Amino acid sequence: MLHRGRIQAQGEDLEESESWAADTPPTWQEGIAMIDKLENKIPKKEADLRREAFEKARSFVTQAGENGGVNAVVQKTIMVKDSKEARVDIEVRKGKAFI
């Protein structure tokens, strides 16, 4: 696969992710859909804790789309305010994403 990456919610006893591996890069709309899917599949308490981080992740993906996408390697960590561990990560390991 030419394009690989994942979006993760981690910390405070949580590790859940949405990943991709494809011959074509995911669009920014697909990136937003992955964030939404991740937010909806974790427990509500964990999603509520990361609400602002998820919004910042959506903004990052949208901005990437407005600028033609991002090239690997990208490791974007969005920490939850007042937490040492809770975060949302965006990782583009190979290729391009959010075109």
> What pLDDT is stored for residue 75 in this prediction?
98
Q: Which domain holds residue 43?
A: 3-97
Question: What type of residue is 16?
Answer: E
∠ CA(19), CA(85), CA(34), 5° rounding? 20
> What pLDDT is stored for residue 28 in this prediction?
98
> What pLDDT is stored for residue 23 in this prediction?
98
> What pLDDT is stored for residue 66 in this prediction?
98
> What pLDDT is stored for residue 12 in this prediction?
84
Q: Profile the chain (99 residues) by mean pLDDT over runs of 10 residues.
A: 96 95 98 98 97 98 98 98 96 98
Q: How many domains does the chain have?
A: 1
